[in-house]
Amino acid sequence: MDITFDHVDFTYQAGTPFAGDGIKDVSVTIHDGSYTAIIGHTGSGKSTLLQHLNALLKPTAGSVTIGDFTITKETSNKNLKPLRQKVGMVFQFAENQLFEQTVARDIAFGPKNFGVSDADAQDLAKRMVKLVGLPEDVLDKSPFDLSGGQMRRVAIAGVLAMQPEVLVLDEPTAGLDPAGRHEMMAMFERLHREQGLTIVLVTHQMDDVADYADHVLVMEQGHLIKTGSPREIFADPAWLQEKQLGLPTTTQMAQDLVNKGFSFNPMPLTEQELADQLVPQLGGASHE
């Protein structure tokens, strides 16, 4: 299910004295089955862009095509439910959306809203809780008795239970410990690879972008200023610095090594690539 933005503008509180900028003239296609990362400085319009992906916001100009749906300014809020099921959204600090008496009921809430029977929804809850790496005995607990990290997992399980075709993640690992972060990102990667889930990820972690994404969108002040593969985006450190964005740790290290006389082609994105290119250069040096 491709998602296409066609000259999309969005202005907050349009037509009031408090009108604020959202996004301006964004045209891009997010392809079916891709893993797209959106990066940009805080307040650059990333989250605004995300909310167009399932019509929580509607463009003030232009149109968004999501599968069979075309969303424009005039689109009514009715009949958007099938769309919302296809595009699952994990918001920032998703643990704030939990409300049911038990974890099982909270996870089953989404599917039941989309017409899944109670028994099937409970079954889904059982599967999803395992998928996000929680023991099955949390199902009967109150979500508010869990730790922050566990609550985040339950919230994510609640979104996955809707069995979306596109998974939109707004900084899903913010505030998690390193192990939790790694596990979460690995799980999304697995879903992407095994089930062909399209993933759209907003993040400030350039390492995650380099490790997982196959397509990167760079936002600045509401404009989409660059798109390309992570390799293309990270090839120009000076440009990224100017846009107040960082490099992945590995690329940063490679860059520091270049300044000391090493050379890399292409610039390595992952530890493996760095090691592969570094070994011959070090080996060459030791023979002299």
Partner 1 sequence: MNKLLLGRYVPGDSWVHHLDPRTKLLASFYYIGIIFLANNWQTYLLMFIVTLFIIYLSKINISFFLRGVRPLIWLILFTVTLQILFSRGGTVYFHWGWFWLTEYGLINGAYIFMRFVLIIFMSTLLTLTTQPLSLADAVESLLKPLKLLHFPVVELALVLQIALRFVPTLMDQTTKIMNAQRARGVDFGTGNIFQQMKAVVPLLIPLFVSSFTTAEDLATAMESRGYQGGDNRTKFRVLKYHNSDIIAGVFMVALTVALVLLKN
Site residues for partner 1 per CB under 8 A: 12-13, 16-18, 51, 54, 56, 78, 81, 84-85, 87-89, 91-92, 94, 96-99, 109-110, 113-114, 144, 158-159, 162
Catalytic residue selected from 171, 183, 271, 273: 171
DSSP letter (8 states) at residue 69: E
Q: How far is the CB of 273 from partner 1 (least distance, A)?
A: 36
Q: Are 36 and 201 in contact (CB under 8 A)?
A: yes
Based on the residue annotation, tell me whether 165 is a catalytic residue of this protein.
Answer: no
Q: Are 91 and 158 in contact (CB under 8 A)?
A: no
Place of tokens 């339950």: 154
The whole-angstrom separation of Cα 263 and Cα 276 is 13
The four Cα atoms 160, 2, 51, 8 give a dihedral, to 10 degrees, of 180
H and E: helices and strands count for the chain: 11, 10
Q: Decide whether 92 or 249 has the Cβ nearer to partner 1.
A: 92
Q: Decide whether 93 or 262 has the Cβ nearer to partner 1.
A: 93
Question: Residue 60: which of 7, 16, 18 has the closest Cα?
Answer: 7
Q: How far is the CB of 264 from partner 1 (least distance, A)?
A: 42
Q: Decide whether 76 or 286 has the Cβ nearer to partner 1.
A: 76
The four Cα atoms 255, 260, 261, 264 give a dihedral, to 10 degrees, of -20
Angle, in degrees to the nearest 10, between helices 148-160 and 178-195: 10
Q: Decide whether 98 or 254 has the Cβ nearer to partner 1.
A: 98
Q: Which residues are catalytic?
A: 171
